[in-house]
Structure 1
Amino acid sequence: MFSSLLPRAAVALTLLLAGPTVQPAAAQATTTQTAHPAFTVQVVGKGRPVILIPGLTCPGAVWADAVARYQKQYQCHVVSLAGFGGVAAQQPVSAHLLQDVRDQLLAYIKAQKLTKPTVVGHSLGGFLALWMASTDPAALGPLEIVDSLPFMSAIQMPTATVESARPMAEQLRKQVARGHLTLAAERQMVTPLVTDSARITQVARWGLASDPSTVAQAMYDMYTTDLRTDISRIKQPVLVLSSWAGYKAYGATKASTLAIYTQQYAQLPQARIEMSEAGRHFLMYDDPQWFFTQTDAFLQQPATAKR
């Protein structure tokens, strides 16, 4: 599905992650914000906790529409990763960046005494949600994974292993760390992933505002971490929302995309995979009615799956 876009749009594909901070006008009185080494969290609303994790180069603001919709029913913990979308980067950048994010998010859940929070993650955020739940299954409630997979390198190379993926990932890390992209170049990479022109510009500007070294390390970590076996530890309900329409021009079909998702989630039998007919990678932007219909229903799921 994405293979024809790599490496040309590798940065954009790792935009699996999207959010500056979310500030819904009606919720200022119930908003709090806390900072951690690898991320900041803005808490908006009251009710059952829901953690919203953005994708690569995006701050938590990518979830603004979702927060506006759910803040009256749920306590939204909106994550913005350090170094993305204008959020200050950690210096020096950790050599185990995403593992640090994973561990600090799990520590945050325990420190805040959140009982099995639902986690919604887009792209890189979905990957982190899978990694968190694989590491400590009892800490999390249901997972909604928005257009993300357990092993990114296997999209391009189905037989890939972590070791075989390292040379490509290292080359990509060096290339991305150089930075120096223009807004036009960012928009070109984002265009296959978002339909609306204004949204394309918004996501591209977040990319320009991101720290190149942080983005490079996050991409390297994701391309060299294989969770396909680890996800068998996850016991809670999982909804996977996927896109394919944006990749038609590169040879993707609905059937070929579903096959990739089915293979990668084979060790997670309770995962339910749903595919948007029209949405691109940023499903919450491109197919909002479908996205919110799926999410509305899923947020009512119990915290544990029926086995």
Structure 2
Amino acid sequence: MRMVIFILFVVLIASLGSQSANAAPTLPTLHQLSRISVQSIGEGKPVVLIPGLATPRDVWSGIVPELAKRHRVLLVQVNGFGSPAAEVNRRPGTLDGIVEELAAYLSAEKLRGSAVIGHSMGGLIGTMLATRHPEAVGRLMVVDALPFYGALMGPGATPDSVRPIAEQMRAMLVNGPAPTQAPPGMSSSEAGRAKVLSWLKESDAATVGEAMVEDATTDVSANLPKLAAKPITILYAVPSPERAELVKALYGKAYAGLPTARLVPVADSAHFIMLDQPAVFAAEVKRFLP
């Protein structure tokens, strides 16, 4: 009888182990911090996804289900972007504060060498994180972001020369009427532009304005050679064949301090590559991750 009970016990344990092995990915958990919130889903090597200006974590919805099958996916969202506003993000020091809060969160979770993917302003945040906290970032993907957005204003642009223009844009955003259409160049499809517009409307204007000014006037070009993350992939949008060489030259010059980085043009896409070319984007993410 004892032998029968023992055999049944072993079978039960094996059955439970099998059920556990085939279980669905863990349910998402949400960590609310003062400047950001982080939603965690799945198990495995960590992947941190950082969205851009006035953009919620939903922008990554096309890749999260697949990633969560084999990774712990950490979806960052800036408080005030598609979520209730945070007074602290309306004041100067927002980008620095976000970088430090994210670094502290990763440290508290004992996550080192994460794969970090950032779009637009999120790409700048990812680069700043990798520079200041190299232990936190093992590999880095920047999606349609420059180390200094002022470069779009001309070769002689500096943070100081760009600031008055950025402040004018902030004033228009905060004091002007509510937007009725997405800013130019955001998405090549009507559905994509509608999403971007809805996200902008749901965001706190003061938070967006402060982050926009800081994004436009932050230049991390000099820090690029210090990046220890490997590999580094830079995806950039090419909206039309006529502009391909111009955009290639712009990104090549901007990332000259990262000669080992892989620069990847994405054809027929506006700024939100994940919306305009989801299959290409998913394939590049898969290639980038371990």
TM class by shorter chain equals 0.7 to 0.9
Quick one: percent identity of the two aligned structures? 33
* Amino acid aligned to 1:129: G
After superposition, the Cα gap between the structure-2 partners of 1:179 and 1:76, relative to the gap in structure 1 and judged at 3 Å, is farther
Quick one: distance in 1 between partners of 2:197 and 2:256?
34
Match in the other structure for 1:253: 243
Structure 1 residues 229-238 or 215-224, which shifts more?
229-238
Match in the other structure for 1:244: 238
Asked if the contact 2:237–2:267 (Cα under 8 Å) also holds between the matched residues in 1, the reply is yes
CA shift for structure 1 position 109: 1.1
Match in the other structure for 2:173: 176
Asked if the contact 1:27–1:44 (Cα under 8 Å) also holds between the matched residues in 2, the reply is no
Match in the other structure for 2:271: 281
Give 3-state SS (helix, strand or coil) of 2:37's partner: strand
Match in the other structure for 2:181: 186
Structure 1 residues 27-36 or 281-290, which shifts more?
27-36
CA shift for structure 1 position 173: 2.1
Matches within 5 A, 1:86-235: 87-92=83-88, 93-182=90-179, 185-187=180-182, 189=183, 192-235=185-228
Quick one: distance in 1 between partners of 2:186 and 2:172?
21
Q: Which runs of 5+ in 1 are unaligned?
A: 1-25, 301-307
Asked if the contact 1:186–1:208 (Cα under 8 Å) also holds between the matched residues in 2, the reply is no
Find the partner of 1:270 among 252, 260, 263. 260
Aligned residues: 266
CA distances 1:117-162 after superposition (whole Å, capped 9, x unpaired): 0001111111110111122223211011110010001112221112
Larger radius of gyration: 2
Match in the other structure for 2:17: none
Q: Which runs of 5+ in 2 are unaligned?
A: 1-22
Asked if the contact 1:50–1:120 (Cα under 8 Å) also holds between the matched residues in 2, the reply is yes
Give 3-state SS (helix, strand or coil) of 1:243's partner: strand
Quick one: distance in 1 between partners of 2:205 and 2:269?
28
* Amino acid aligned to 1:186: Q
* Amino acid aligned to 1:242: Y
User: Which runs of structure 1 show a deviation greater than 3 angstroms over 4 or more consecutive aligned residues?
Assistant: 26-29
Quick one: distance in 2 between partners of 1:27 and 1:177?
44
RMSD value over aligned CA atoms? 1.7
Quick one: distance in 2 between partners of 1:102 and 1:136?
9
Quick one: distance in 2 between partners of 1:39 and 1:180?
27
Match in the other structure for 1:32: 29
Quick one: distance in 1 between partners of 2:102 and 2:24?
24
Structure 1 residues 274-283 or 206-215, which shifts more?
274-283
TM normalised by structure 2 equals: 0.87
Asked if the contact 1:52–1:121 (Cα under 8 Å) also holds between the matched residues in 2, the reply is yes
TM normalised by structure 1 equals: 0.82
CA distances 1:265-292 after superposition (whole Å, capped 9, x unpaired): 1111221100012222111111122111
Match in the other structure for 2:288: 298
CA distances 1:35-67 after superposition (whole Å, capped 9, x unpaired): 111111100111100000111111001111111
Match in the other structure for 1:44: 41
Quick one: distance in 2 between partners of 1:264 and 1:135?
20
